[in-house]
Amino acid sequence: MRIAYQGEPGAFSEAAALAFNPAAEPWPCETFDVVFATVEAGRASHGILPIENSIGGTIHRNYDLLLEHELPIVAEVEHPIVHHLLALPGTRLADVRRVYSHPQALAQCERFLRRMTGVEIAATYDTAGSAKLIREQGLRDTAAIASARAAEIFGLETLETGVQDYAHNVTRFLLVGRGAPLGEPEKTTIVFTVSNEPGALHKALGVFAQRGIDLTKLESRPIRGRPWEYFFYADLAVPRQALPCARALVHLAEFAPSVRTLGSYPRWRGQTPGAETPSHNST
């Protein structure tokens, strides 16, 4: 099993891939678009995408890509995220003039970064990629927010540990692939649109409420080229083939301009280890 992920070795997506299947071969890709292209071309059996974080919220780009491509969701992973401030050996915290990391990681460490006065905060394409950049360019006045594994891979030292704002920092990842669900489906993710009229969304959600179907997530995304019109992404706590879900989707399709199932898949049952307690939490 080869799992394509966005980032460099040491990225949290790589760790999530290995949490799902320790025997898998992680396959680094430069962008999320390349992850999809790699799976579509058959160079990897699956791709893994971060979709939401318990602190930073949704990774919107990946919702857009799920809609743009035909790769179904086949599994999910929840993985704890512990961020560290990394720098070249010998660098002191007082020497740091800029911090690099992925925008989501920066958002998850906002309170810690606010205390680093006089320091430039710069967004990059990847947490582990930020560590790699510091090593390759020999940046002695720069630190990266990344994983402990990234520190090991790129020969950096840890200046501060557990710098995320909250101890229980978890990211939910989705696996996509060309084959069947990786286990017995228990959840379903759909995307739909509604007419621009009063009560349209209420009516759409009612098809699930009438049948006792729990919506565990509802997310709206703008429809490009159609200002103030939206796609609605929903996670349903029921498999697609269950009769109440099947009937709800048929009912929804009677009045919704578009309805599409993005995948029906098992919910994550892994024993997610307890996240480390950050040493710099503030109240």
Q: Which of 32, 36, 154, 173 is catalytic?
A: 173
Residue 216 catalytic? no
- Amino acid of residue 192: F
Task: Give the C-alpha separation, 31 to 37, whole Å.
Answer: 10
Residue 154 catalytic? no
Query: Contact at 8 Å (CB) between 255 and 195?
Result: yes
Query: Alpha helix (H) ranges present in the chain?
Result: 12-20, 32-40, 60-68, 103-108, 110-114, 127-137, 148-154, 200-209, 243-253
Judge residue 283's burial from the number of C-beta atoms within 10 Å of its C-beta, 0-12 exposed, 13-18 middle, 19 or more buried: exposed
Token pair recorded at residue 39:
């799976």
Q: Which of 171, 188, 189, 193 is catalytic?
A: 171
Candidates 234, 193, 237, 240; CA nearest to 212 is 237
Catalytic residue IDs? 171, 173
